[in-house]
Amino acid sequence: DIQMTQSPSSLSASVGDRVTITCRTSQNIVRYLNWYQQKPGKAPQLLISFASSLQSGVPSRFGGSGSGTDFTLTISSLQPEDFSTYYCQQSFSTPFTFGPGTKVDIK
Amino acid sequence: QVQLVQSGAEVKKPGASVKVSCKASGYTFTNFYLHWVRQAPGQGLEWMGLINPSDSTTNYAQNFQGRVTMTRDTSTSTVYMELSSLRSDDTAVYYCSRGGEMSTDTPFDFWGQGILVTVSS
């Protein structure tokens, strides 16, 4: 199975801050890396697919990069509605593993 | 619009089975894989497996092999997930989510609202 790690596991930030979350995989997954946002009590929502492709309707302040085993989710200017938990997930091979999540809360 | 509507919450005793449903609408049901993902209270996301609604082929995560069965009913555009030999650590919210069109290496772009399954004596 492909193991996923995320860092940090949590962070505190202010509105307007630039936030970077890192995801690392245990083997090369090319660019089969997706990012999801989950708010409490809600289903996850797809933000970015294939490492850097922004989903329709997702604000442009979200961006993704990386390939191989190292990937990054960046929020260029944090907004109040962005305080959530973020998960990376690989869709390279089954089982389609998720990272442990990064909780972004208000400083 | 694409919708995945899941059945209601369940409470089960240890050792029992639970069967939950996910009704799809707004797209061609047989063209897209459907996945099941669960989330224990306060924990992360765990992929359980997938079903191809076109031919009902399945792929289950090793952690659930022998305990999970995913089926579909094309007449109602519904997929089902049955988990047997329930334990307390199966208490979780169970989500169905839509995968790729004719491919598995794609993200999950739509999700059901989730079903809380509680296993308690």
pLDDT (tens digit per residue) in B5-45:
999 999 999 999 999 999 999 999 999 999 999 999 999 99
What pLDDT is recorded for position A81?
Answer: 95
**Helix, strand, coil % in chain B, rounded to nearest 5:** 5, 50, 40
Range with the poorest average pLDDT among A8-22, B34-48, B60-74, B95-109: B95-109
Q: Which residues of A touch B108 (CB under 8 A)?
A: 34, 36, 44, 46, 89
Q: Does residue A5 register a pLDDT over 90?
A: yes
Share of chain B above pLDDT 70, in %: 100
Mutate to test the interface with B, among A45, A96, A103 (most CBs of B within 10 A): A96
DSSP A39-61: -TTS--EEEEETTTEEPTT--TT
Supply the pLDDT for residue B36: 98
Closest by Cα among A89, A5, A66, A85 to B107? A89
CA dist., res. B101 & res. A88, Å (int): 21
- As a whole number of angstroms, the distance between CA B92 and CA A77 comes to 33
Instruction: Name chain B contacts of A89, Cβ cutoff 8 Å.
Output: 45, 107-108
Mean pLDDT of B51-68: 96
Give me the pLDDT at residue A42, please: 97
- Quick one: pLDDT band at residue A4, thresholds 50, 70, 90? very high
Q: CB atoms < 10 A from the CB of A86, how many? A: 23
Say if A40 is an interface residue toward chain B (CB within 8 Å). no
Q: Does the distance separating the beta carbons of A55 and B62 come in below 8 Å?
A: no
Chain A interface mutation, best of B48, B59, B65, B108, highest count of A Cβ atoms under 10 Å: B108
Q: What is the pLDDT of residue B105?
A: 86
Chain A, chain B: beta-carbon pairs less than 8 Å apart: 60
Q: Does residue A47 register a pLDDT over 90?
A: yes
What's the DSSP call for residue A70? E
In chain A, residues with a C-beta closer than 8 Å to the C-beta of B50 are: 94
Q: Is the distance from CB of B71 to CB of B56 less than 8 angstroms?
A: yes
Average the pLDDT over B80-85 and give the result.
98
Confidence of residue B103 (pLDDT cuts 50, 70, 90): confident
Q: Which two tokens stand for residue A64?
A: 């993704």
Encode pLDDT of A79-94 as tens digits: 999 999 999 999 999 9
